[in-house]
Chain A
Amino acid sequence: MTKADIVDAVYDRLGGYSKRDAAELVELVFQILKDTLEKGEKVKVSGFGNFVVREKKSRMGRNPQTEKPIEISARKVLTFKPSQVLKSQLNG
Chain B
Amino acid sequence: MTKSDLIEKVAENANLTKDKASMVVNAIFDKMVDAMKEGQRIEIRNFGNFTVRHYESYTGRNPKTGTSVAVGPKRMPFFKVGLDLKKRVNGGAA
A interface list, Cβ under 8 A from B: 1-3, 5-6, 9-10, 12-14, 24-26, 28-30, 32-34, 36-38, 40-49, 51, 53, 75-80, 82, 86-87, 89-92
Contacts and interface: CB of A to CB of B under 8 A. Distances in A.
Contacts of B48: 78
A44 B2 CA distance: 5
B10 A28 contact: yes
Contact of A32 (B13, B89, B93): B13
A86 B13 CA distance: 28
Interface of B: 1-3, 6, 9-10, 13-14, 16, 20, 23-33, 35-37, 40-48, 50, 52, 74-79, 81, 85-86, 88-91, 93
Nearest to A51: B79
A49 to B, nearest CB: 7
18 contacts: A6-B31, A6-B32, A6-B44, A10-B24, A13-B27, A25-B10, A25-B14, A26-B24, A33-B6, A38-B88, A43-B1, A45-B2, A45-B29, A46-B3, A48-B3, A76-B89, A79-B79, A90-B74
Contacts of A25: 10, 14, 16, 24
A49 B79 CA distance: 11
A86 B33 contact: yes
Contacts of B40: 1
Given A78-B89, A91-B74, A5 B35 contact: yes
A2 B79 CA distance: 14
